[in-house]
Chains A and B, each alone.
Chain A
Amino acid sequence: GENVEQHPSTLSVQEGDSAVIKCTYSDSASNYFPWYKQELGKRPQLIIDIRSNVGEKKDQRIAVTLNKTAKHFSLHITETQPEDSAVYFCAAILPTGFQKLVFGTGTRLLVSP
């Protein structure tokens, strides 16, 4: 089955800095890679996703890059703000079956003013 590893587990940045979170996956057949933001006690919220036929996707201050050869994908947040502080989870989906999300272990991002 699929396995997703994520690092770092914690990341502290100053407001305005960039933050990068990296994930690797094990099954080359995985074809969809979402990123979820989870604030304390809240639901995971889908913030950006990328499909395997695309190398990069941007949405304002966030971007995701995918390297299929190396089987890794990354979340990039530019001009970080205190409200970006949360736990970020990457995930992967295999095209077989019914799209169960396999999550990484999460990165706690702290943005200090």
Chain B
Amino acid sequence: EPEVTQTPSHQVTQMGQEVILRCVPISNHLYFYWYRQILGQKVEFLVSFYNNEISEKSEIFDDQFSVERPDGSNFTLKIRSTKLEDSAMYFCASSLTSNSYEQYFGPGTRLTVT
């Protein structure tokens, strides 16, 4: 069964550094998402992406964040200047169409900002 994959599984970075989190969505899926989960808390929506454009973003997704689909398979989340409060698990998800609703999550990248 196809799965969403993410790399790296764990990223440690210093405050102020840039990080890029990578995701490979399920191959025939068209809609892509990033969510984050601070330890012990609920999963929060960051951004959705379709047709090479951001379709919706949350208030968490400020100017320090950006997303990109650099090729036909990868979907990346960049944080330009990390803060301590960016430490969280970041999940990528994908869905087939806007009407299929089912979103499948990757295994996550644990980001630790020191």
Q: Which chain B residues in 63-92 approach chain A with CB under 8 Å?
A: 91
Tell me if A101 and B91 are in contact (CB < 8 A). Answer: no
Give the total number of A-B pairs whose CB atoms are below 8 A apart.
61
B33 touches A100 (CB 8 A): yes
Q: Which residues of A contact B103 (CB under 8 A)?
A: 34, 46, 99, 101
Mark A29-55 against chain B: 1 for CB-CB distance below 8 A, else 0: 000101010000011111001010000
Instruction: Enumerate chain A residues within 8 angstroms of B31, measured Cβ to Cβ.
Output: 98-99
Q: Which of B43, B91, B102 has the most CB of A within 10 A?
A: B43
Q: Give per-residue flags for A74-107: 1 if the beta carbon is below 8 A from chain B beta carbons, else 0.
A: 0000000000000001000100011111111110
A99 touches B107 (CB 8 A): no
> CB distance B56 to A43 under 8 Å?
no
Q: Closest chain B residue to A96 by CB distance?
A: B56
**A96 vs B35: C-alpha distance in the bound complex, in angstroms?**
19
Q: Which residues of B contact A89 (CB under 8 A)?
A: 42-43
Q: Is the CB of B43 within 8 A of A103?
A: yes
Interface size class of A (residues with CB under 8 A): 20 to 34
Nearest-Cβ distance from residue A41 to partner chain B, whole angstroms:
8
B43 surroundings in chain A (CB, below 8 A): 36, 44, 89, 101, 103
Interface of A toward B, CB cutoff 8 Å: 32, 34, 36, 42-46, 49, 51, 89, 93, 97-106
Q: Report B's interface with A, CB cutoff 8 A.
A: 4, 31, 33, 35, 41-45, 48, 50, 55-56, 58, 91, 93, 95, 98, 101-108
Further contacts, 16 of them, CB under 8 A, given A49-B101, A101-B93: A36-B43, A43-B106, A46-B104, A89-B43, A97-B55, A98-B50, A100-B45, A100-B48, A100-B58, A101-B33, A101-B43, A101-B45, A101-B103, A103-B42, A103-B43, A105-B41
* Subset of 29 A-B contacts with CB under 8 Å: A34-B101, A36-B43, A36-B105, A43-B107, A44-B43, A44-B91, A44-B105, A45-B105, A46-B102, A46-B103, A46-B105, A49-B101, A51-B101, A89-B43, A97-B48, A98-B48, A98-B55, A98-B56, A98-B98, A99-B48, A99-B98, A99-B101, A100-B45, A100-B48, A100-B56, A100-B58, A101-B35, A102-B45, A105-B41
